[in-house]
Amino acid sequence: MKKLLMIGIYGLLILGLSAGGTLYLRQQEAAKETAAKQTPDALPESAADLTAEVDVTQPLPPSNDVELPVAVRPGEMSVEEIVKYGLGLKDREAAIRKREEALRRTETQHRMVLADITGEQREVEGLVAQARDQRMAAEQFAAQAQKERLKSAALLKEVEERKQKIEMERQKAGSKPSADPGSNMEVNREANVKEMVAVFEGMSPESASAVIKEYANGGKMEMAVEILAKMEERKASSILDAIKDEKLNSELLAKFLELKKPIRL
């Protein structure tokens, strides 16, 4: 019984092998027929070069492929080379430090020069502003002096007109008969001085001093001193102070004291 089973199994195995081999052979034939029917695609240039016959007697043509960079590793350095390299780095570092110090010194000098220039510029600007202020003050002073001159000229003209008027009144009074001609002249002189004092009190000390100086230099010293004596003390003192001629000032002051007239405060 066992032998029959073994024989049957053996027969089935052989039958399967023969069937498989037949199927494989048929598939190979079908694949060859299909490949024969299809036209093969054109190979690329590089593949065509590989399939072409190579003539070993001729040198190979230059390759069109781009050469790839190859990493080159430096060789190992010796101890002496390492020491030299380190010394070179130290020298370079020292040179760089020297250059940095020189640049810092130069920068400091430039800053100092810039500070000096800035200070001088400010000083010049201050001098310019001061000169401008002085010029404006001088212009104002000149304008004020011009006004004072015009005012003095107008007052001097007024004084001369009053003087002439008083002189005319004196002449009229002198033409009339009088029991005491001296008393009439004294009255006229007092009136003249009184009017002159009123005029001088309305003038500035500079203008009044100019008129007093003109009177003194013109032979009318007594008239000038009498006018000063009749004025207020402050006004008379300011007029005397405005006279810059020391000799004339001393002479006027001496004659002023000789009169011994009471000065109204």
Nearest CA to 144 out of 156, 154, 136 is that of: 136
The per-residue DSSP string of 154-190 comes to HHHHHHHHHHHHHHHHHHHHHHS--S-HHHHHHHHHH
Model confidence over 102-143: pLDDT tens digits? 999 999 999 999 999 999 999 999 999 999 999 898 888 888
Residue type, 204: S
pLDDT 10s digits, 163-180: 777 777 767 765 544 444
Identify the residue whose tokens are 């195995």: 13
Model-wide pTM > 0.85: no
Whether 232 and 263 have beta carbons less than 8 Å apart is answered as yes
Q: Evaluate the CA torsion angle 246, 252, 254, 260 in order and state its sign.
A: negative
